[in-house]
Amino acid sequence: MRKLTGNHIEVLFHYYINPSPHPRETVPAIKTVIQNFVDDGILTVFPEGEAGYCITFKGNKFIKMILETPYPVQRWTNPTKEEE
Protein backbone atom coordinates (compact mmCIF):
# COMPACT_ATOMS: atom_id res chain seq x y z
CA MET A 1 0.00 0.00 0.00
CA ARG A 2 1.33 3.40 -0.96
CA LYS A 3 1.44 6.30 1.46
CA LEU A 4 -0.32 9.39 0.20
CA THR A 5 1.26 12.82 -0.04
CA GLY A 6 -0.31 16.18 -0.76
CA ASN A 7 0.60 15.64 -4.43
CA HIS A 8 -1.39 12.40 -4.47
CA ILE A 9 -4.50 14.07 -3.07
CA GLU A 10 -4.19 17.07 -5.39
CA VAL A 11 -3.72 14.90 -8.51
CA LEU A 12 -6.54 12.56 -7.48
CA PHE A 13 -9.03 15.38 -7.05
CA HIS A 14 -7.87 17.15 -10.20
CA TYR A 15 -8.82 14.11 -12.28
CA TYR A 16 -11.96 13.50 -10.23
CA ILE A 17 -13.18 16.95 -11.29
CA ASN A 18 -11.57 17.32 -14.71
CA PRO A 19 -10.02 14.78 -17.15
CA SER A 20 -7.88 17.40 -18.87
CA PRO A 21 -4.10 17.20 -18.43
CA HIS A 22 -2.84 18.14 -15.01
CA PRO A 23 -1.27 21.64 -15.07
CA ARG A 24 2.02 20.23 -13.71
CA GLU A 25 1.98 16.91 -15.57
CA THR A 26 5.57 17.37 -16.79
CA VAL A 27 6.98 17.67 -13.25
CA PRO A 28 8.70 14.39 -12.35
CA ALA A 29 6.94 14.03 -8.98
CA ILE A 30 3.52 14.50 -10.60
CA LYS A 31 4.38 12.09 -13.43
CA THR A 32 5.27 9.49 -10.79
CA VAL A 33 2.02 10.05 -8.88
CA ILE A 34 -0.04 9.72 -12.07
CA GLN A 35 1.78 6.52 -13.06
CA ASN A 36 1.33 5.10 -9.55
CA PHE A 37 -2.42 5.74 -9.75
CA VAL A 38 -2.57 4.11 -13.19
CA ASP A 39 -0.58 1.10 -11.94
CA ASP A 40 -2.87 0.82 -8.91
CA GLY A 41 -6.07 1.00 -10.99
CA ILE A 42 -7.17 4.39 -9.62
CA LEU A 43 -6.73 6.29 -12.91
CA THR A 44 -7.00 5.24 -16.52
CA VAL A 45 -6.18 7.06 -19.75
CA PHE A 46 -9.11 9.21 -20.83
CA PRO A 47 -11.03 6.95 -23.23
CA GLU A 48 -11.93 9.51 -25.87
CA GLY A 49 -8.39 9.93 -27.16
CA GLU A 50 -7.78 13.28 -25.50
CA ALA A 51 -4.78 13.80 -23.30
CA GLY A 52 -5.58 13.24 -19.67
CA TYR A 53 -6.92 10.63 -17.32
CA CYS A 54 -10.17 9.71 -15.64
CA ILE A 55 -11.03 8.07 -12.35
CA THR A 56 -11.86 4.37 -12.43
CA PHE A 57 -14.60 2.65 -10.42
CA LYS A 58 -11.94 1.75 -7.85
CA GLY A 59 -10.80 5.39 -7.82
CA ASN A 60 -14.34 6.60 -7.20
CA LYS A 61 -14.64 4.23 -4.24
CA PHE A 62 -11.33 5.53 -2.88
CA ILE A 63 -12.47 9.16 -3.22
CA LYS A 64 -15.73 8.29 -1.48
CA MET A 65 -13.71 6.83 1.42
CA ILE A 66 -11.65 10.03 1.65
CA LEU A 67 -14.73 12.26 1.55
CA GLU A 68 -16.47 10.21 4.26
CA THR A 69 -13.53 10.50 6.67
CA PRO A 70 -14.62 12.60 9.65
CA TYR A 71 -12.49 15.25 11.25
CA PRO A 72 -10.46 14.04 14.21
CA VAL A 73 -11.77 14.85 17.66
CA GLN A 74 -9.96 15.64 20.85
CA ARG A 75 -10.60 13.51 23.90
CA TRP A 76 -9.81 14.55 27.45
CA THR A 77 -8.94 11.87 29.99
CA ASN A 78 -7.90 11.69 33.61
CA PRO A 79 -4.17 10.86 33.56
CA THR A 80 -4.34 9.28 37.04
CA LYS A 81 -6.84 6.60 36.00
CA GLU A 82 -6.57 3.85 33.47
CA GLU A 83 -8.99 4.04 30.60
CA GLU A 84 -11.64 1.38 30.33
Per-residue model confidence as pLDDT tens digits over 15-51: 999 888 899 989 999 999 999 999 999 999 877 766 6
Q: pLDDT tier at 8 (50, 70, 90 boundaries)? A: very high
Q: How far apart are CA 55 and CA 38, in angstroms?
A: 9
Mean pLDDT of 10-15: 94
pTM: 0.79
Q: Domain coordinates of the chain in residue numbers?
A: 6-67
pLDDT, residue 38, reads 95
Query: What are residue 55's DSSP bridge partners?
Result: 43
Nearest Cα to Cα of residue 43 among 24, 30, 59, 32: 59
pLDDT at 56 (0 to 100): 95
